[in-house]
Amino acid sequence: MASRAQLRAAANERARIALAIMQREGLGIEAAAARVKTTRRNVRRFMKDMGITTRRSRRRGDRGKLLITRQPLQKVRDFIDDMNQGLSATAAAKRSHTTVRTMSKIMVKGEPLLVKVNNRWQLNVLIKHIYSLVYYGYLTGLGGKVQGGGEDHPDEHQYGEEDDEGLIESPDAPSIWWQIDFDYFTSTLPEELVGQFWKPAIMQWLREELEMPNIVATGMSMNFLGNSDVEADAVENDRIDDDGNMKLTQIEAWMNRYDMTMHPTVNFGLDDNHTPRDVDFEPVSAVRAGIPVSAEGRYQIIIRRDDEVYTYPKSGPKIMTFEYDLSDEVQ
């Protein structure tokens, strides 16, 4: 179930599209709202939140068309982006057709957009984005062997040959891979940094949830231990208790295979079907003080054999919630 923040972000996105239609096609607010399946009330709320006003054109041939009157608050997004790309406050303001003086007067949640440090203007506000983020990789079995061989997958690919950056080329390469999809991942980081930054924390969390032996499945465990190689490995890694029982990890239980783990090489990406969405501005001081957030992920293991695709768990992706704090992004 989507959280309140996720629902608000979706409503904001529909309002943005409705405004674009109003401006491009000259439609009224009600007609534009209906086209994108939102309400006039939602569009007006969004306009108020973003400082957007409108007026009707009086020019001949364009009379009556709705024009968006840009206010300084609307320019904050572009201004912040330009400064993050290395432009000075003066250059960024000029590109947004405004002035540093005007931008310095803008307050965001009680804090100024700009502060002066050593006679230079610095940003004092961050953009909160929502990304559609995915992590994926190979699975390994006993002895660290990458799973997913097959005639249609040459050895150099099935064993996870890495590119120059140490990343697996694509989840389409192996015939067995895992992935977790976050449709609403909140971050103050730009899209080129968010995936790499959060990868270590997300992988630690996934391994704690899915690779810790805490599931009692006596029948499956006994079948595993009937194999001499498995028994020797289990004894060496102290996985058998005093009563001769062995608990399983979640991945082992799903796959009915001993010592199934996620390969150390992990890839990630942003879903091309979902452009990053801006949901809010936050003062740097507020982010540093701590903003706890969570992201709901859908984890599954995918097996492709010829033209058939199988997924685990069989009941559908496992819903998992990753809890984190945006303050980690500004340390």
- Statement to judge: residues 321 and 262 lie in one domain: yes
Q: Is the domain of 64 the same as that of 145?
A: no
Distance, in Å, from the CA atom of 36 to the CA atom of 26, rounded to the nearest integer, reads 15
Peptide bond into 313 cis (omega under 30): yes
pLDDT on residue 160: 35
Residues 178 and 325 in one domain: yes
Give 110's contacts (C-beta < 8 A, 6+ positions apart). Answer: 283
Per-residue pLDDT tens over the stretch 97-125:
889 998 998 888 889 999 999 999 999 99
Domain-located, residue 279: yes
Within a domain: 197: yes
Give mean pLDDT, residues 133-147. 92
Tokens 């006003």 belong to which residue? 53
pLDDT of residue 82 exceeding 80, the answer is yes
Note the pLDDT tens digit of each residue in 176-222: 999 999 999 999 998 889 999 999 999 999 999 999 999 999 899 99
Cβ-contact 33, 42 below 8 angstroms: yes
Do 138 and 281 belong together in one domain?
A: yes
- Does residue 191 share a domain with residue 95? no
DSSP string, 4-36: HHHHHHHHHHHHHHHHHHHHHH---HHHHHHHT
In tens, the pLDDT along 66-75 reads: 666 655 556 7
Sign of torsion, CA 66 71 77 82? positive
Same domain, 12 and 41: yes
For the residues 303-329, what does the mean pLDDT come to?
A: 92
Residue with tokens 């406050």: 89
What is the Cα–Cα distance from 83 to 90, expressed in whole angstroms?
9
Could you give the percent of the chain with pLDDT greater than 90? 50
Q: Structural domain of residue 85, as residue ranges?
A: 72-123
